[in-house]
A = this chain, B = another copy of it.
Amino acid sequence: MRPFGARRDRLRELLAAADVDALLVTDLLDVRYLTGFTGSNAALLLAADGDARTRFCTDGRYVTQSGTEVPDLELLVDRSSVLATARRVIELGIERLGFESDVVTVDGHAAIAEAVGGSVELVRAPGLTRRLRAVKDDVEIAALRAACAVADAALADLLAAGGLAAGRTERAVAIDLEMRMRGHGATGPAFETILAAGAHSAIPHHRPTDGELRRGDLVKIDFGALVDGYHSDTTRTFVLGPAAGWQRDLHEVVARAQRAGCDALAPGVALSTVDAAARDVIVAAGLGERFVHGLGHGVGLEIHEAPMFSATGPGELAAGMVVTVEPGVYLEGRGGVRIEDTLVVAEGGPEPLTLAPHGLVEV
């Protein structure tokens, strides 16, 4: 069942509130969400009154592909997909045209204004499709579940094969894990794998080096799989060999904070409340200043998307949002621990999509 028509209809409800005749959708992921098109050049003119006046535009490279992916919309073929679409506005009888003012650049806006002509009013309409995208439909949750399952399977394989071992380089282990994700069906990694051993684990976004893992190291692995355009996001932190007391203590604090954050996930709860639920545990342990980032973020067609957890930001959760919960504590020069899951917000409690064990694993 193609979900794209239903998504366009949900967007039309927002267009009515924005009082525009149509929305010029130029963000490629928004276009993908609304049409199913996965190529690298496209624009969508979404008419508020239905698909008859709606137009999809891509360039010559994608004519065959768009025939398969977007069989239900009238196609324009032009290399300048945004401007070619904008030029059709008058003949389609559109007078008030919304545009994604959080996506269109200042220069892009000037070019669109010229293309539509002076009689059409351009109306700022930021974030409408992104607002819809924050709440996932069943097709999306299925893709996210598949992506998370691929990541889980790859990590389990890596551990079972003894792939996390002293003497291997960070880079070699990261590649090993990514290849296992590919083998399980990922089209690629969801982002550049963070594999950080020893003191590197205290760098929140460390890039793997040719440095070797050593016995006694904390090893932080933040990784994800890309499946059907959807991203998974997991972090686990291991110890190579028996954990030292401080490593065990650090892991225990972060694990408690992570559980508290997950337990706080429910429809209607403020994003700042969820952040606080986890952050309070770390602050109480005297480590508040070592938790230097937000608690987590929405995940879907982008690895980071709405909603964003922060200590002070506005907004609340809704059923169907898919978010990460990922507190971390970083002791510069020594090591850090982060634990992260991807979960679906739901009535009756969140559904975790990443299922790798949470306890401290000594490998």
Binding site for B on A (CB under 8 A): 38-40, 59-65, 79, 99, 101-109, 124, 126, 175, 178-179, 182-183, 187-189, 192, 202-207, 292-294, 310, 332
List of 3 A-B pairs having minimum Cβ-Cβ separation, nearest first = A60-B292, A61-B204, A101-B106
Q: Are B105 and A61 in contact (CB under 8 A)?
A: no
Number of this chain's copies in the complex: 2
Q: Are A105 and B104 in contact (CB under 8 A)?
A: yes
Q: Are A178 and B189 in contact (CB under 8 A)?
A: no
Other-chain contact of A293, B59, B64, B183, B202 (Cβ < 8 Å) = B59
Q: Which residue of B has the minimal Cβ distance to A103?
A: B105
Q: Which residue of B has the minimal Cβ distance to A205?
A: B61
B-side contacts of A203, CB under 8 Å: 64-65
B-side contacts of A59, CB under 8 Å: 293
Given A60-B292, A64-B332; 10 other pairs, CB 8 A cutoff = A38-B207, A39-B205, A40-B205, A59-B293, A60-B293, A101-B107, A103-B105, A104-B106, A105-B105, A106-B124
The smallest beta-carbon distance between A101 and chain B, in angstroms, is: 4
Other-chain contact of A183, B38, B39, B108, B175 (Cβ < 8 Å) = B175
What separation, in Å, do the CA atoms of A104 and B103 have in the docked complex? 9
Q: Which residue of B has the minimal Cβ distance to A183?
A: B175
